[in-house]
Amino acid sequence: MSTTEQTTMNPEVVALGDPDLSFSFGERRTLMNFLQTVTLWILAGIAAIPLISVLWMLISRGGLRISTAIFTELPPAPFEQGGGIGNAIVGTLVMVAIASLISIPIGILGGLYTGLLNPDSRISALIRFVGKVLTGFPSILSGVFVYAWLVIVMKTYSAIAGGVSLSILMLPTVLLTAEQAFRMVPQRMKDAAYGMGCNSTQVATKIVLPTALPGVMTGVMLAVAGASGESAPLLFTALFSNYWIGSFTEPTASLSILIYNFSAMPYENQIELAWTASLVLVLIVLVFNILSRSFGTRRV
């Protein structure tokens, strides 16, 4: 159909003239779009300022003391020079490991129950509710709880008590993310497994767990990262120690408590070490966060 033909058929279309498709700031719509984009960039920049300035402060003040001694030596006595935070790094890792050993199996099995085996039962609803309440549980109360039930009974502060109180904080994160990951496994995949002649246990172990693993690992890593930075639950449970960890049943050093103790001391050396410990702690948390993201982006 030619243009002349169209003209005779529908003159109104031609009355608008040839369309002007070029870009122009003069239009209200374009201007608003530009202004809003700029505003959002500025707001995003403001939001990033605290994070960047904290990181900058940690690197500039804590980075000064980074050396092998930091990782291999014990904290110094007052007026002593040098020293390191090796025992606190080991202590934090040991207690997070204990907490993981407790919370990951319980969390994943609980998630299997609420997400796969019996999602609609009352028990599942209860577990879910308790999990969500525990997510907002004040971390210091976890310490108080373990103090009452473990520290007093064992008559000593210990790495075990510290690990248990951290596990209480990790459990809801592991459980709720594991449940979500299990629920994300498509029903048709489970049908296929049943159709191949799997029983419920085989469907769970051969199909649901492997398929949901990246999601589960994301939750685990987030929980580990969160637990590594906790200080309140350790105050009443692991206390602190100036020595290397010798057994799981003695007071144990941790990075967060070391920061808390040393930053309040009037000695320059200890204050510097507190900064360095902060940097190390942030790096540990960062590593676990990056790990969790790398698991999360893996294709399911």
Partner 1 sequence: MSMEMEMNKLEATAAQQAAGDVAIGANIDKIYYGDFLAVRDAAVDIEKGKITGFIGPSGCGKSTVLRSLNRMNDLIPIFRLEGHVHFLGQDVYGKNVDPVVVRRHIGMVFQQPNPFSMSIFENVAFGLRLNGFKGDISGRVEKALRRAALWNEVKDKLKQNGLSLSGGQQQRLCIARAIATEPTVLLMDEPCSALDPIATRQIEELMLQLKKDYTVAIVTHNMQQAIRVADKTAFFSVDMTQGGRTGFLVEVGDTKQVFENPKENLTKEYLSGEFS
Question: Residue 192 CB, nearest distance to partner 1 (Å)?
Answer: 4
Instruction: Please say which residue, 22 or 201, places its beta carbon nearer to partner 1.
Output: 201
- The nearest distance, CB 118 to partner 1, in angstroms, is 11
Minimum Å gap between C-beta 216 and partner 1 is 14
CB of 203 to partner 1, least distance (A): 10
Cα 75 to Cα 244: distance, rounded to the nearest angstrom: 10
Closest by alpha carbon to 193, among 183, 204, 180?
204
Amino acid symbol at 156: T
Smallest gap from residue 172 Cβ to partner 1 (A): 27
* Short-list 205, 206, 202, 211, CA closest to 183: 211
Please state, in angstroms and rounded to a whole number, the distance separating the CA atoms of residues 111 and 107.
Answer: 6
Residue number with CB closer to partner 1 (197 or 266): 197
Residue with tokens 């003159």: 11
Neighbours of 54 (CB within 10 A): 12
Binding site for partner 1 (CB under 8 A): 186, 188-189, 191-199, 202, 206-207, 210-211, 299-300
Taking the C-alpha atoms of residue 85 and residue 258, their distance in angstroms, rounded to an integer, is 8
Do the Cβ atoms of 160 and 238 come closer than 8 Å?
no
